[in-house]
Amino acid sequence: MASPRVRGFLFDMDGVLYRGRQPLPGARAMLETLTRTRVPFALVTNNSTRTPRQYARLLARMGMQVPQARIVTSSVAVASYLRARLRPGSRILLIGEPPFRRVLERAGFVVTWEDRAKAVVVGLDRRVTYQKLAKALAALGRGAHFVASNPDPVLPTEGGLLPGAGSILAALRYATERTPVIIGKPRPTLLRVAMARAGLRAHETAMVGDQISTDIAAGRAAGLYTILVLTGVTAAGGRRAARLRPDLTVRDLRELGRWYARR
């Protein structure tokens, strides 16, 4: 793709702005420059185990001041998707953690295990039980909407890989033979919600991420200019990722800042 008229950015977080609890080179300076020059941007993540407020606090501890309104998690995007399809006060059966529940409740939904759920929402739940899966299966059998935060099969941690939201989702897909609506990356919905928040359009937005199979794939699906940073997980991710090429590759956000300044 030719050099675009990039007017704003979407940034993945872990592996782009920080790794673990450590900020990555150029991250703080990049965000400060964009804020000072009023360049629209938003932060996007598939992770539903923190609220935007919790992410804002995490970033602040690393010296990055980002308003929570600029942080769009997969749970926020799920709530946006459901608001367009369900009435306020609709009952939601959630397989997910307390931060996901708070986001849905703040969006006006009732999170419940009762039988009248209008939607089954699946995210990462590190306390998932057989009973939860059975309740979700029953609700899906009655025709509830089937929505998932993301299809990530594993969750990288400092201690190694753990089952991700996609692993839980796979059990319900297999049991119901139903295909869920996926909101997070590599699907484009999360990015579209973030662009709407930031007042951006696809042809003027760059997606910055460290994973080809999620960040770059989602950016391509949404029609964005795609930028790969080599500070996180850059391994290919299967045959699909091998076919994808970012429009631009940079070592870190320092190099990205220099690229943007030259334009």
Catalogue the active-site residues.
Answer: 12, 14
Judge contact between 13 and 74, C-beta under 8 A.
no
**How far, in Å, CA of 71 to CA of 43, rounded?**
5
Q: Give long-range contacts, CB 8 A cutoff, 24+ apart: 138-141.
A: 139/93, 139/115, 140/172, 140/176, 140/178, 141/176
**How far, in Å, CA of 175 to CA of 78, rounded?**
22
Q: Give long-range contacts, CB 8 A cutoff, 24+ apart: 97-102.
A: 97/48, 97/49, 97/123, 97/124, 97/125, 97/126, 97/127, 99/48, 99/49, 99/50, 99/51, 99/54, 99/75, 100/48, 100/49, 100/75, 100/149, 102/51
